[in-house]
């Protein structure tokens, strides 16, 4: 009971801090921290999407950064053709078009690759998801029309009704509201019958199959939902950075998303958000102190994995240690 209350209060504090502090930073002349918070919240959405299949489904996907890249290019490519090519893409600057394109293509890619990947398990699943992501990485790397390795500048941000994404505060608020919705969606899924089967398959897949559940379809559906949500995060990231490149979908980026989930606490509602906050802030602070910041950063992550069972949320619940 006490751990439940503690978790609830930590959730309230973290989400209120994310809602209040970034606007305060902007109004006090510290716009850099608003930009940092925007990147943090967008990556938190991607981490929440990964947590659905990793934390609750037990599927260690090492290729989720591909969906971020797909979502970002779903914004950049239509804008590029409208700006430079004179090619009339329907609603080229329209945010609704970009979001539908990002979510739709990401979901389709997740459906195709998930249908194949889920035929494997364990380390083979990890490797095949990374292989599919690297295929997308090298595909965009070879597309000289869209900048190839040099990347692509997004000249015009997506246009949404009543919202101006050129305004950094409005862009942040859209990202924050999207994060809250993503958390609610995952929480609703997890506490539904669908989510119970998904979690049951993580614990004992053979028993659920024996009981008559087609766990393959359950897992595939969760994988598609996760990919679509991550693609949406990619569309937001493209609008935030106004620059996209294949580098954002490399395997190391997928590893960072996994670190965020594990660091915060896989299989918990707030864990991916908390992990994203600590990951981004630690990276920012350590990189400002030394160019060799990867060493203390890696040691910190190792310490959490070794001594904090259940990640940071495990410590908050009082379940840290061995």
pLDDT tens string 117-141: 999 988 999 999 999 999 999 999 9
Amino acid 86: pLDDT: 53
Amino acid 172: pLDDT: 96
Residue 34 pLDDT greater than 50, yes or no: yes
Residue 298 pLDDT greater than 70, yes or no: yes
Amino acid 160: pLDDT: 87
- More confidently predicted of 86 and 282: 282
Domain boundaries, the chain: 5-317
**Is the whole model's pTM more than 0.85, yes or no?**
yes
> Which residues are CB-neighbours of 84 under 8 A, at least 6 positions away?
none
Residue 309 pLDDT greater than 80, yes or no: no
Q: What is the pLDDT of residues 2-23, one digit of tens each?
A: 457 788 888 999 999 999 999 9
Residues 196-211, mean pLDDT to the nearest whole number: 91
Residue 280 pLDDT greater than 60, yes or no: yes
pLDDT band per the 50, 70, 90 thresholds, residue 87: low
pLDDT band per the 50, 70, 90 thresholds, residue 277: very high
Amino acid 227: pLDDT: 96
Residue 162 pLDDT greater than 50, yes or no: yes
Amino acid 291: pLDDT: 84
State in words which class domain 5-317 has: mainly alpha
Q: What is the pLDDT of residues 39-70, one digit of tens each?
A: 999 999 999 999 999 999 999 999 999 999 99
- More confidently predicted of 92 and 49: 49
Amino acid 1: pLDDT: 40
Residue 322 pLDDT greater than 80, yes or no: no
Residue 321 pLDDT greater than 60, yes or no: no
- Mean pLDDT value across the chain: 89
Residue 84 pLDDT greater than 60, yes or no: no
pLDDT band per the 50, 70, 90 thresholds, residue 229: very high
Residues 89-93, mean pLDDT to the nearest whole number: 55
- Lowest model confidence (mean pLDDT) among 92-96, 126-130, 188-192: 92-96
């Amino acid at each position: 009971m006490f751990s439940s209350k503690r978790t609830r209060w930590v959730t309230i504090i973290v989400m209120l801090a994310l809602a209040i502090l970034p606007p305060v930073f902007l109004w006090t002349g510290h716009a850099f921290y608003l930009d940092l918070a925007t990147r943090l919240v967008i990556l938190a959405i991607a981490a929440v999407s990964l947590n659905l299949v990793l934390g609750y489904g037990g599927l260690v996907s090492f290729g989720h950064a591909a969906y971020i890249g797909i979502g970002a290019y779903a914004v950049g490519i239509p804008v590029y053709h409208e700006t430079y090519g004179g090619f009339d893409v329907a609603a080229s600057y329209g945010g609704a078009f970009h979001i539908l394109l990002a979510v739709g293509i990401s979901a389709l890619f997740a459906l195709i690759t998930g249908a194949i990947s889920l035929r494997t398990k364990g380390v083979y699943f990890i490797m095949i998801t990374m292989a599919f992501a690297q295929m997308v990485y090298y595909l965009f790397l070879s597309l000289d029309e869209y900048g190839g390795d040099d990347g692509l500048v997004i000249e015009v941000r997506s246009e949404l009704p009543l919202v101006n994404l050129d305004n950094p505060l409005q862009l942040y608020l859209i990202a924050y509201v999207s994060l809250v919705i993503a958390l609610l969606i995952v929480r609703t899924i997890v506490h539904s019958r669908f989510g119970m089967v998904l979690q049951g398959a993580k614990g004992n897949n053979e028993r659920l199959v024996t009981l008559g559940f087609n766990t393959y379809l359950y897992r595939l559906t969760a994988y598609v939902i996760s990919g679509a949500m991550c693609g949406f995060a990619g569309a937001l990231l493209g609008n935030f950075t106004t620059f996209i490149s294949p580098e954002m979908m490399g395997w190391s980026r997928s590893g960072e998303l996994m670190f965020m989930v594990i660091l915060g606490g896989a299989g918990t509602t707030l864990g991916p958000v908390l992990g994203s906050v600590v990951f981004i802030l630690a990276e920012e602070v350590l990189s400002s102190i030394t160019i060799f910041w990867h060493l203390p950063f890696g040691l910190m992550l190792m310490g959490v994995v070794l001594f904090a069972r259940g990640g940071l949320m495990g410590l908050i619940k009082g379940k840290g240690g061995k």
